[in-house]
Structure 1
Amino acid sequence: MTTAPTVKTLGELRASGHELTSLRSEIRTNLLRRLAAGEDPWPGLHGFEHTVIPQVERALLAGHDIVLLGERGQGKTRLLRTIVGLLDEWTPVIEGSELGEHPYDPITHASQRRARELGDHLPVAWRHRDERYAEKLATPDTSVADLIGDVDPMKVAEGRMLGDPETIHFGLIPRSHRGIVAINELPDLAERIQVAMLNVMEERDIQVRGYVLRLPIDTLVLASANPEDYTNRGRIITPLKDRFGAEIRTHYPAELDAEVAVIRQEADLVAEVPDHLVEILARFTRGLRGSSSVDQRSGVSARFAIAGAETVAAAALRRATVHGEEHAVARVVDLETAVDVLGGKVEFETGEEGREGDILTHLLRSATAETVRRHFRGLDFALLVDAIEAGSMVTTGEHVTARDFLTGLPVLGEAELYDEVCDRLGATDDGTRAAAVELALEGLFLARKVGKDSDGSETVYG
């Protein structure tokens, strides 16, 4: 954040050469400048580059209000918040004005009166773009007063006449004048509340009770919603839907790399989680989205994989702390902890009751097998399989440290198998080496080359 300009009065603002532009022109100008300079206006968004982002850019250039439709966890709210970055970093407002009006264009009675009385001495304050964004989670108990406004009984009690426009307490949308207001889960708003938004969306003014009050509100209205064929809580009324200039469908990442990037970006990891484990979680999530056993109308949120990565990291940290490991690194055995706690984040189809755990385990194993094939294709594990068939056993689990795990591996003579496994996964220390070898062992089990026995706390390959 840079330092706010030092201009303090309307006269100084005029002398500085500042020009008034509408909100939509401001966004359009900043977006075009970034595109022309080759800058990314949408940092932190993955998988939308060729689908959603171009539609959003066209809508903003056209000056349209936008509603995003998509299942949970597709990044709708993050996309809405990113649009704030297209506002000017600092904009002048009349100091103390309730709606943050521009000094050149006061719209409320109070600000107009002050402008007449003070002239060029009208005090000016500077508002950062982060303060020009308001967000409301729509709930059934949201009222017209919350969004539009209502009579303030305290102002009436102070002695003002009931018909005085200055007795109005403005709601969220008028207070977002010269800014952006985002309403999440728009269908959750009662239909009569949606009706109250019609004038704001089309005529760009507000109506509060019986007041004859026309305020030229300059605000960009954004909204998010689940597709109407999924939500049972309500709908967007047709007249309001018609007033949104752009209706854009979001989606989950189409590519695996984008899914992995989202996990890496959003997960708050308390221990190291190797890339191959993040890849397994990403494949696991994508497998759930394609499973006929899962209710695809509700979707499988990106938060599923994010929470999975955080759970796996937490399991590694717990093991390292209990057993005195210096460096906590997650391993394949920690993935089982994710299955134990994430089942409630998935909605299964009717008829799958009682099979949820089996479905999750099967899809996790499929994801693990795909990851093994990708990283270990062409690698000969015959010596390791022979050693295990000859009676060697490898023990792992939440009570087995990386050093103990590596020490318990069978000796394979002069074979360079361990080094090759570790090199392919970039493993350089005990923790990451143990994670790499454990992935190889799990791959051999899934390929039915070795056996596996687990009691929840200890896993033995043999």
Structure 2
Amino acid sequence: MADETNNRATTLGELQASGWVSRPVKQEVREHAIAKVIAGEPLFTGVQGYENTVMPQLENALLAGHDVVFLGERGQAKTRMIRSLTGLLDEWMPIVAGSEIMDDPYNPVSKYAKDLVAEHGDATPVDWVHRDLRYGEKLATPDTSIADLIGEVDPIKVAEGRYLSDELTLHYGMVPRTNRGIFAINELPDLSERIQVGLLNVLEERDVQIRGYKIRLPLDVMLMASANPEDYTNRGRIITPLKDRFGSQIRTHYPLEVQTEVDIMLQEAQSLDIETPNGPVTVNVPGYLTDVVATFSHLARSSTQVNQRSGVSVRLSVSNYEALSANALRRGLRSGETSIVARVDDLGALAASSMGKIEIESIDEGRDGAIMESLIKGAVLTVFKEVVPPAQTRAVVDAFEEGAVAHTGETMTSAELAAVAEQVDALKTPVKVLTGGDESPGAVAAAVEFILEGLHLSKRLNKDASGGSATYRSRT
């Protein structure tokens, strides 16, 4: 096989003898996409929540051989999907050796490759490039030039004695250098309109024009782009002729369900399990607190006090999950614990990791903190109602009405907080439900605090908070 590591063709003649067949990049992608569809496999892994919405549209676009623009708010995996498309290319591809634009040995388009093939014929040297090298990407910025994307005259080559009319004096831009591959432009509306015009030929005529050169450089490129809908008014727009040349426009979205957001968080967040001089330290975030972090993002996306035009990225959930874990780690290290479990006390860390990612809209100055606290409480209450049945907490409320008082706080160790379940016997049943039978001090302490906070937010217990400590008692 021509694509086996130790048995690849090294010349044009060997390549022809091997039976290798040249095909356009879109046909190559289509064939691999068809194989995935037939096998019932996703086009790529690592992107969740789009199985029934975005992915069918993307499959259609690839089967149709379309160039695609992904339209959606920040943090919706647009770039990740585009980069993952390289997995639908052949693992290795032959090129004319030394070609700057990955010339097809069968159909060279650059002067360098044409001259080399004309001179050497079947002895023309062939190199092989991996599919990862067949991907090019440019973040659109207002200062991006035609030279960056398409190409420009190389003054050094001119200084070496070549004539300006010599095609070999050209320095190819990023698009030609991604010939026979996939090229992506992120935040396309940020590209100035006059530069967008330079892409029209790439998308329709499949060639490029550089300065005044009378050359036709027919490129084989699959063009992908991403854009934020708000960019059309805030920073620019995609010009109509360019937008018309994209075969498909696919709208992305944020996770529609909390569980999807949770799955993405757990996939992307960094583990905070560490080694210390005293041995390994682990951090565990209970499932109900993971749900609280995800629910916080969902509430923010529907809140009238959050600017929805700027979006609430999934990165918010990932950062908040990491901040929650980090606060638990810091608290646990100070108390000398080695098996640390996050609890409600640690949710205060979400303010620092959230403020830079969401835009609060408030008439009154300085209300950001209060709005953030309200969203956190709303998330805790929502999850509490979902995971703790009211029937299991009636006895707890009764115990407090009979005089029970509970103290919690960040400075309390897990063992001290877990002891509350022994003092208020009625807590044992709902605690066991939340911990799944885990009787470790960290798990019990986290469950106790979550139940008490949930009852307070449900207006069934009073709470006096001061300096990182809290006291829960009956409302009567």
The TM tier, using the shorter chain, reads: over 0.9
* Cα shift at 1:300: 0.8
Report what 2:179 is aligned to. Answer: 177
* Cα shift at 1:457: 2.9
User: How many matched pairs?
Assistant: 461
Residue 24 in 1 paired to residue 35 in 2?
no
> Is the CA contact 1:230–1:298 (under 8 Å) kept in the aligned structure 2?
no
- Mapped partners of 1:266, 1:460: distance in 2: 36
Report what 2:159 is aligned to. Answer: 157
For residues 3-402 of structure 1, the aligned pairs below 5 Å read 3=5, 6-228=8-230, 231-270=233-272, 271-349=283-361, 351=363, 353-402=365-414
Change (3 A) 1:341 1:217: same
1:344 partner SS: coil
- Mapped partners of 1:4, 1:332: distance in 2: 58
- Mapped partners of 2:60, 2:308: distance in 1: 29
- Mapped partners of 1:254, 1:78: distance in 2: 19
Q: Which amino acid aligns with 2:214?
A: V
* Cα shift at 1:149: 0.5
Q: 1:443 aligns with which of 430, 434, 454?
A: 454
Change (3 A) 1:42 1:234: same
Change (3 A) 1:32 1:358: same
- Mapped partners of 2:95, 2:443: distance in 1: 55
* Cα shift at 1:350: 5.7
Residue by residue over 1:222-244, the C-alpha shift from the partner in whole angstroms, topping out at 9 and shown as x without a partner, is 11111157641111111111111
- Mapped partners of 1:414, 1:236: distance in 2: 62
Report what 1:452 is aligned to. Answer: 463
> Is the CA contact 1:72–1:301 (under 8 Å) kept in the aligned structure 2?
yes
Q: Which amino acid aligns with 1:88?
A: D
Residue by residue over 1:305-330, the C-alpha shift from the partner in whole angstroms, topping out at 9 and shown as x without a partner, is 11100100111111122221112321
Q: Which sits farther off after the overlay, 250-259 or 217-226? A: 250-259
2:171 partner SS: strand
Change (3 A) 1:380 1:83: same
- Mapped partners of 1:277, 1:310: distance in 2: 12
Where structure 2 has 5 or more consecutive residues not aligned to the other structure, the ranges are 273-282
Normalising by structure 2, we get a TM-score of 0.91
Aligned alpha-carbon RMSD (Å): 2.1
Change (3 A) 1:131 1:237: same
Q: Which sits farther off after the overlay, 269-278 or 35-44? A: 269-278
Change (3 A) 1:430 1:101: farther
- Mapped partners of 1:412, 1:255: distance in 2: 36
Q: 1:434 aligns with which of 445, 461, 474?
A: 445
> Is the CA contact 2:399–2:426 (under 8 Å) kept in the aligned structure 1?
no
- Mapped partners of 1:283, 1:415: distance in 2: 25
* Cα shift at 1:356: 2.1
* Cα shift at 1:79: 1.6
- Mapped partners of 1:404, 1:357: distance in 2: 30
Change (3 A) 1:219 1:253: same
Normalising by structure 1, we get a TM-score of 0.94
> Is the CA contact 2:435–2:443 (under 8 Å) kept in the aligned structure 1?
no
Q: Which amino acid aligns with 2:446?
A: A
- Mapped partners of 2:125, 2:441: distance in 1: 64
Change (3 A) 1:21 1:237: same
Q: Which sits farther off after the overlay, 347-356 or 123-132? A: 347-356
* Cα shift at 1:69: 0.9
* Cα shift at 1:276: 1.3
Change (3 A) 1:314 1:5: farther
* Cα shift at 1:408: 4.2
Q: 1:420 aligns with which of 432, 439, 444?
A: 432
Q: Which amino acid aligns with 1:68?
A: F
Q: Which amino acid aligns with 2:84?
A: T
Q: Which amino acid aligns with 2:416?
A: D
Where structure 1 has 5 or more consecutive residues not aligned to the other structure, the ranges are none
- Mapped partners of 1:94, 1:397: distance in 2: 68
